Amino acid sequence: MKLMIGENMKRLRRERDLTQEELANVLGVSCQSVSRWENGSCYPDVELLPSIAAFFGVSTDKLMGVGEAEEQRFVERSEASFREALSRGKVYECIRIAREGVREYPNNYHLLNDLMYALFIAGDEDGNIPEWHENMERFDDEITRLGERIVKYCPEQALRLEATELLAFNHLEMGRKREARAVYETLPGIGSCREMSNMWRCFEGEDQLDFLRGIIRGGWQVMSYGMYSLARTRLLPDEELLKVYEKMFALDYLVWDGKRMNSCSWDDDYCHMAAVFARMGRTDEAFAALENAARCARAFDGRPEETTYESVLCGRRTERRTDIQMSDDRSFREIMRDKWMKEPDFDAIRDDARFLAIEKTLSE
């Protein structure tokens, strides 16, 4: 069995923000000894292990990496429960699951990242948590500490990038634009991303095909989110906003061959598109968009546990019910009826029989 003493010592030392020389002084050994332990050249004397473990506040088994498989199994179970709760909008249950996980394994970055995310969405004004604003203030410091810890010490690049983006977003939500921008600027730009290089040439056959399709899926996600954000900001005149929505749907049809009818964003997008039509007095088109939104909401709420999409450009993708992250425990039909359709833009058509009929179908 391979012992992980060196790797664990390095991680624990960095978490304490200690240099090798400082740790060597604490343990009464040379700096060269600490360096050799951390690079795997040799192990500390067995007599030293209890002292090292005690200093870092871990067991000797944890220091040596014994029990890693048990920890991995625990993390997998915890994250499965976390995703299930998140897919149902049970935010406080997510926080409970994540806190229990961190108590069991306080240095596991997957669990720390789950906790950071759960605390963040507890302050999501788009959900149905009445005390969301109080949660923003209540969890702000903890989110910041967790994010900075993951960004500084986590060895997994994907988790570091995820935590970096969430840390910046939290600064932004709290009105700290300067801090948010500084964090965002540490992220790699789209143009420097490895997928945008000629890395696909390093692969052959099916591997090359999968890589190229991954580039397309990534590009589709970036474009979709960019258009979604542009539509929501209302920076454009209504006529041009309608074109943005039309292009969003056209892009989805293009990339997925018109097969993504259970997308969780389509009901929201069609409803907001209907609001633009309503503002412009284009009543018939507003109701057509609302009908599409209601149809998509019903389809999404009734989706199976797994849905598989396949297209020429993106290949096969399986979307699981638990992949959808929610800060609202209502169905999409309820959200559309009780939130999106309450927007003032619909006041001019609210008493129309067609509007009332759509509300009724969403309640069935």
SS3 197: coil
Dig out the tokens for 225 from the structure: 């989110």
Dig out the tokens for 77 from the structure: 């179970």
- DSSP lists the bridge partners of residue 307 as 319
Average pLDDT over residues 204-233: 89
Q: What is the rounded distance in angstroms from the CA atom of residue 102 to the CA atom of residue 33?
A: 32
Select from 3.30.1600.10, 1.10.260.40, 3.50.50.60, 3.30.420.40 the CATH code of 5-64. 1.10.260.40
What is the tens place of the pLDDT at every residue in 83-104? Answer: 999 989 999 999 999 999 999 8
Dig out the tokens for 184 from the structure: 């965002």
Q: What is the rounded distance in angstroms from the CA atom of residue 183 to the CA atom of residue 167?
A: 8
Q: What is the rounded distance in angstroms from the CA atom of residue 25 to the CA atom of residue 127?
A: 51
Percent of the chain at pLDDT > 70 equals: 95
- 316 contact partners, CB below 8 Å, separation of at least 6: 308, 309, 310
Question: 207 burial class (0-12, 13-18, 19+ CB within 10 angstroms)?
Answer: exposed
What's the pLDDT band for 1 if we cut at 50, 70, 90? Answer: very low
Task: Please determine, for residue 68, whether its predicted confidence score (pLDDT) is greater than 90.
Answer: no
What's the pLDDT band for 166 if we cut at 50, 70, 90? Answer: very high
Dig out the tokens for 162 from the structure: 């995820």
The whole-number pLDDT of residue 194 equals 54
The whole-number pLDDT of residue 263 equals 58
What mean pLDDT, rounded, does the chain reach?
A: 88
Between vectors from CA 362 to CA 359 and to CA 364, what angle results, nearest 5°? 115
Instruction: Name the E strands within 32-158.
Output: none
Contact (CB, 8 A) for 86 and 94: yes
The whole-number pLDDT of residue 234 equals 86
Dig out the tokens for 277 from the structure: 């039509």
Check if 5-64 and 68-187 are the same fold. no
The whole-number pLDDT of residue 211 equals 86
Q: What is the rounded distance in angstroms from the CA atom of residue 308 to the CA atom of residue 73?
A: 27
Who has greater pLDDT, 7 or 93? Answer: 93
Contact (CB, 8 A) for 236 and 244: yes
Task: Please determine, for residue 81, whether its predicted confidence score (pLDDT) is greater than 80.
Answer: yes
What is the tens place of the pLDDT at every residue in 282-340? Answer: 999 999 999 999 998 998 888 888 888 889 999 988 888 888 888 888 999 999 999 99
Please compute, for residue 125, the number of CA atoms within 13 A of its CA located in the half-sphere on the CB side: 6
Domain boundaries, the chain: 5-64, 68-187, 200-363
Q: What is the rounded distance in angstroms from the CA atom of residue 143 to the CA atom of residue 138?
A: 10
Longest dimension (CA), the chain: 83
> What is the CA 102 to chain-centroid distance, rounded?
19
- DSSP lists the bridge partners of residue 308 as 318
Task: Specify the DSSP class assigned to residue 261.
Answer: T
Contact (CB, 8 A) for 112 and 122: no
Q: What is the rounded distance in angstroms from the CA atom of residue 47 to the CA atom of residue 185?
A: 46
The whole-number pLDDT of residue 261 equals 47
Provide the b/e sequence for 330-345 (b: ≥16 CB within 10 Å). Answer: bbbbbbbbeebbeeeb
What is the tens place of the pLDDT at every residue in 110-159? Answer: 999 999 999 999 999 888 899 999 999 999 999 999 999 999 888 888 89
Please compute, for residue 7, the number of CA atoms within 13 A of its CA located in the half-sphere on the CB side: 10
The domain 68-187 having CATH identifier 1.25.40.10: the answer here is yes
What is the tens place of the pLDDT at every residue in 337-362? Answer: 999 999 999 999 999 999 999 999 99
Task: Please determine, for residue 109, whether its predicted confidence score (pLDDT) is greater than 90.
Answer: yes
Dig out the tokens for 36 from the structure: 């050799």
Who has greater pLDDT, 324 or 263? Answer: 324
Q: Give the other-Cβ count within 10 Å of 135's Cβ.
A: 20
Q: What is the rounded distance in angstroms from the CA atom of residue 34 to the CA atom of residue 50?
A: 16
Give the torsion sign (CA, 88, 154, 218, 314).
negative
Who has greater pLDDT, 278 or 259? Answer: 278
What's the pLDDT band for 244 if we cut at 50, 70, 90? Answer: very high
What's the pLDDT band for 15 if we cut at 50, 70, 90? Answer: confident
Task: Please determine, for residue 67, whether its predicted confidence score (pLDDT) is greater than 80.
Answer: no
What is the tens place of the pLDDT at every residue in 184-198? Answer: 888 876 555 555 567
Identify the CA nearest to 255 among candidates 196, 311, 309, 212. Answer: 311
